[in-house]
Structure 1
Amino acid sequence: MPSHDIAIIGLGVMGENLALNFERNGHSVCGFDLDENKRASFARRTEGKRAVTAGSLAELAGQLKLPRRILVMVPAGNAIDAVLADLRPLLAPGDVVIDGGNTLFTDTQRRMLALQGSGILYVGTGVSGGEEGALRGPALMPGGDAQAWPLIRPLLQSIAAKADDGQPCCEWMGPGGAGHFVKMVHNGIEYADMQTICEAYWLMRELLGMTPAEMSAVFAEWNRGELGSYLIAITADILARIDDESGLPLVDLILDTAEQKGTGKWASQAALDLGVTAPTIADAVFARTVSAVKEERIIAAQVLTGPAVRAAGERAAVVEQIRRALLAAKVCAYAQGFALLQAGDREHQWSLSLGSIASVWRAGCIIRARLLEDIRSAYAGDDVPANLLVAPHFAALMAGCQQDLREVVAEAARNGVAVPAFMSALSYYDGYRSARLPANLLQAQRDYFGAHKYQRIDRAGKFHTHWMA
């Protein structure tokens, strides 16, 4: 007789750990993977637990209570389509399929459209927290067919991380591709957050000559204050790690080329498509692409010149200035991410709750940070700010930190230290706070060569000038 609460297709690290999380929280699980070795590994890890391993999708479908609830944890793209094609004949109206991968939100919307009329309920769920989060409690961002939410809510909220107030970090995001869009924006912020932290580390190394151990102590101290976050905490751990073989700091032995899976690029592309200013997110992506051309950079280092590094000043004072600059840059990155959420919501009519999103991100996910409680508060009422920067708490925070960001960016420029995320965050802040920008000249240029017309400040309408007359 069908007896299992949920099935997981895809028994890689994330799928297997999510299965163990479900089982630990009182749910019986059926797992399947095309890879026989992964099925065997799953069987070993779940021995003696309320879990079984299916040998086929048909066997898996037969093991589940009705309506069936199936979580798909396979790589985004064609693999999802292949699983859906094989699953569809085995499912009945009312069954729920949940895509828990890093899927592009437009693909989720396409798959929902393809399932219309079948009665199968489709959900795209952002899952954040990595391997440990999957096992101990991730942040979950489900969206899609709203009829599915009552059927999966008890399951998902039971395994989700819990914030300090006890609330599960899992709430319904909205219809269509809302869940995967929110996760995409989360990852865009994540890219920017990681890059700004790396730039703070690099400034301490290049300008102050600090050792990894010294910087580890700084990050550990920062983690006890307003910068406290998962990424700051793991940075302290990374900088403290000594390589067993050489006795050297492990971070100094890691090649300076960063890889990416595409979600930061998608967030940047979405910002361009929606007309949202998100330069710090985009520059974090570009920082990874320039890191990837290592051989070119080695050659360029021998050809291109820059300034000689000069003394940066008293260490404690400069470290504090870097801390405050990092805080300002982080706020700008979050502001860009939430502006992107607002624009996506306007375009797709999802009715996203920005306060709820911030609440879900308070624990479990990669960008969890103390700042998120203040962000949740900023979006909690009916008077939603047009941009996070103008919310009273963050306007005051930026007033106290913006000069430090300026000084740090200036010092980096004087010494030839690349800090693209810090620089773009400062430009974003200054651009957004400027009541007037040089776009009047830009629009005149467009009218000059393309007759694109311009608006005037003294009368309504659009105008064209014959500039060469």
Structure 2
Amino acid sequence: MNIAMIGLGKMGGNMARRLARGGANVFGFDVSAETREGLAKEEANFRAFASVPELIAALPTPRVVWLMLPSGDISEAAFAEMKTLLAPGDLIIDGANAMYKDSQRHAAELAELNIKFVDAGVSGGVWGLQNGYCLMFGGDKDAAEIATPFMKILAPDASRGWTHTGPAGSGHYTKMLHNGIEYGMMQAFAEGFAMLKAKKEFDLDVAEIAETWRHSSVVRSWLLDLVAESFSHDVELADLNAYVPDSGEGRWSVLESVELGVPAPVMATSLYARFASRGNDDYAMKMLSLMRNAFGGHAMSKK
């Protein structure tokens, strides 16, 4: 089993490690020479290459190339390069958090060159190397059959944690909504623990409560496990900034809900809360203060 992994960051690097330890021969490239060479020293079944053309030339045919790059311009450039390097019968697996419509476009463009395509949604974060990854992947039957043995290595085990979701685009569509749900769950935990912390008269031990909820409660989850572990080290979070980025899938989920006419208020609200964390509601908050002062004479707080 031979596979190329292009992009060896936090996710791609650990996926390459899991594939190599699972018996696959991994051909790897990353723009960081230190990263790729370090992995080569670490894993017996991993070979590092200094350039993508060199890697593709060494990879046995039919080639399987997994792109684990940021979505957008970087991934688009990689696809353009792959079109010039790959041959009919080769397969590209895109593991980026890409917009599913882009994946549908890529599948159509590659089909014209008789190059197969799979779009893979990957969940598991930095714990995937140890615990395995959850994989949802789209593509036609032939492409999916080629990709499946690699999915079985990456998954928690060969029988669970992976699914062929359907045609090209469906894998990234499923991952998009997975992340939309994740936004809502994270927001609910954040608000709940904030209210626990704010109830000063009870002097609640939120770390102990988080640990208690992990056992047999309805809200027990891996997310709660991570919260409880973090609270065991630092419950005040004084060193953290209240700034929460979003990687795109939450926005796409909310836009999709509008297109489908399917209400998704939790996803939308959790996305807007992330926007607010960056100061994007500052002017609106000032406007609210101004209006309260204008109609009711309420005091305004000024710098």
Same structural fold, with TM-score higher than 0.5 when normalized by the shorter chain: yes
Aligned mates of 2:291, 2:245 — CA distance in 1? 27
In 2, distance between residues paired with 1:176 and 1:23?
A: 26
Question: Which has a greater percent of strand?
Answer: 2
Once the 2 structures are TM-superposed, how far is the Cα of residue 296 of structure 1 from its aligned partner?
Answer: 3.2
Contact 1:32 1:60 in 2 (8 A): yes
Q: Does structure 2 retain, via aligned residues, the 8 Å contact 1:100–1:127? A: yes
Letter in 2 for 1:116: A
Summarize the Cα distance change of 1:295–1:140 in structure 2 as closer, same or farther, 3 Å threshold. closer
Matches within 5 A, 1:195-344: 195-208=187-200, 214-225=205-216, 226-242=218-234, 249-293=235-279, 296=282
Q: Secondary structure of 2:164's match?
A: coil
Alignment of 1:6-405 (within 5 A): 6-46=3-43, 49-162=44-157, 167-208=159-200, 214-225=205-216, 226-242=218-234, 249-293=235-279, 296=282
- CA–CA separation in structure 2 for the residues paired with 1:160 and 1:31: 20
Equivalent pair of 1:123/1:143 in contact (CA under 8 Å): yes
Measured in 1, the distance between the counterparts of 2:139 and 2:201 equals: 51
Relative to structure 1, the CA distance from residue 125 to residue 136 in structure 2 (aligned partners, 3 Å threshold; closer, same or farther) is same
Q: Give the C-alpha shift of residue 303 in structure 1.
A: 5.2
The unaligned stretches of length 5 or more in structure 2 are 293-303
Number of residue pairs aligned between Structure 1 and Structure 2:
291
Do the aligned partners of 2:275 and 2:281 also contact (CA within 8 Å) in 1?
Answer: no
CA contact (8 A) 1:139 1:160 kept: yes
Contact 1:32 1:39 (C-alpha < 8 Å) held by counterparts: yes
The one-letter amino acid of 1:35's match is S
Q: Aligned equivalents of 1:78 and 1:183: distance in 2?
A: 20
| Structure 1 stretches of at least 4 aligned residues deviating more than 4 Å after TM superposition | 208-212, 302-306
How far does residue 90 in structure 1 lie from its aligned partner after superposition? 2.1
Tell me if structure 2 keeps the 8 A contact 1:158–1:168: no
Q: 1:233 to 1:70 in 2, by over 3 A?
A: same
RMSD: 2.5
Q: Deviations over 1:351-410 (max 9, x none)?
A: xxxxxxxxxxxxxxxxxxxxxxxxxxxxxxxxxxxxxxxxxxxxxxxxxxxxxxxxxxxx
The structure showing larger relative contact order (alpha-carbon pairs under 8 Å, at least 6 residues apart) is 1
| Paired-residue identity, % | 32
Shift of 1:131: 1.4
Asked if the contact 2:116–2:143 (Cα under 8 Å) also holds between the matched residues in 1, the reply is yes
Distance in 1 between the 2:202 and 2:8 partners?
A: 43
Q: What's the CA shift string for 1:304-353, capped at 9, x where partnerless?
A: 899xxxxxxxxxxxxxxxxxxxxxxxxxxxxxxxxxxxxxxxxxxxxxxx
- In structure 1, list runs of 5 or more residues that go unmatched: 243-248, 307-469
Query: Residues 245-304 of structure 1: CA distance to partner in whole angstroms, max 9, x if unpaired?
Result: xxxx4513312221111111110011011111100010000111111118939x85x958
CA deviation digits over 1:39-63, x for unaligned, max 9? 23333333xx111001222221233
Distance in 1 of aligned mates of 2:243 and 2:10: 24
Q: Is the 8 A contact 2:136 2:164 kept in 1?
A: yes
Q: CA deviation at 1:231?
A: 0.6
